[in-house]
Amino acid sequence: MKILICAFQFGIEFNKTSKREEIIRLQTSMKDFFAKKSYSPKVEVLYLDLYCLPFCYLPYKRPMYYEDLALKSRGEVIEHVYKFLCADITIENADEYLNSDEVEGYQIVEKAIIDYFQNKPLPVKIRKSFDTQAFLDDIKAFFDSYIKSL
Q: For the whole model, what pTM was predicted?
A: 0.90
Question: How much is the pLDDT for 65?
Answer: 95
Question: How much is the pLDDT for 30?
Answer: 97
Give pLDDT < 70 ranges for the chain: 8, 11, 54-60
Question: How much is the pLDDT for 80?
Answer: 84
Question: How much is the pLDDT for 6?
Answer: 85
Q: How far is 142 from 136, CA to CA, in rounded Å?
A: 10
Question: How much is the pLDDT for 78?
Answer: 87
Q: What is the pLDDT of residues 51-75, one digit of tens each?
A: 887 666 555 578 999 999 888 888 8
Phi first, then psi: what are they for 78, rounded to 5°?
A: -105, -20
